[in-house]
Structure 1
């Protein structure tokens, strides 16, 4: 988590208002003697501007996420990967709920899906790209890709989730996901899914019980590996684990 020195906490309260001012209007000390910004913060602005920039970047970290009509349930597995990654690194952020219709208007309007992350002046999408950016930018925080082979392992887990787990869970959860959405999102979701799978959502959902019965077998490689180590990534969790975690968030 980004933090500032304790001695900077009071100056920060004033810095936003006094960035270009050399004197604090109407501000007085306890004994009613006016003071200047230089007296309040010796060395201003050289000492304070880096703090302002750090604080500003922290306050401007936003993660956009598809959310149910209740504004609480975030159901995108790809967003959950980044939620876990940010929490793992101890980074503060605002989770911004959006609908399908909102996505084209997120930030600069260049995105067609979530997650989208704004981190200070940096805006990017695609969960894997976001994770690589976080690891490179906040290298002193716990790693998302730790050691040689971590990226390749994560790519394999992504492929496993996409080809083995996601089709089953998409079938199992299809009506639950539909029902938690707003009416407008339900229309979009139904149209997109029925076009993709070539059948009504209700027909697709009929296969849910069969897919649920097959799910333990599909998860067998994960159970086998975790019988000998704590995490897919080894002794500590990393982005490969968060990638797997994101899939069950659908149900």
Structure 2
């Protein structure tokens, strides 16, 4: 599979040195201990952090590298994190329509696209509500709709369910799984269910380095590091030992 996204980057202050590629339509889960470099990876891809050395490219076109750094607003990437970060002064419909509108769509077209995404995520009836009127689960659905409304080239998900009540997470996870079909996405998570439900591939980052990388089923069946063994709940067997 040809790489859609390629990252070979170093951030010295964070002891981060990672090289990886992400294929077209692939959802890659990123796991690792706290402080391992997971959020650094997403920040580099999003463009909110510039590498000290190395390159980041999309379809072979440079996003960050020697003498060049494309800022976040010029990358058609969408970022969803724990907090919904909706615009408090806009209603739900205009929050979701903001992305298409800022990229040149007419007001009518942007609002229609927004309503389509809200309908798919089951919150169309909230279109005229303000963010302060929403529950945490509702707000996160709106945030996901807003991210998908721009047809992002890469979808970046930073623990999107971590702040939600456990009662609403399973349904939202299923909805997101359907929406991730054939989309390219990076998912940072501390939840094994997110990995098993949403991802095609699993990358483990420890100490700012890639410690493991492979298909979810294979890598979880034989975890190569103690962290990953603990993460999936199995015993870790050191190579060469009985």
Report the TM-score range of the alignment, normalised by the length of the smaller protein: under 0.3
TM-score by length of 1: 0.23
When Rg is computed on C-alpha atoms for both structures, the one with the higher figure is: 1
Which is richer in helix? 1
TM-score by length of 2: 0.23
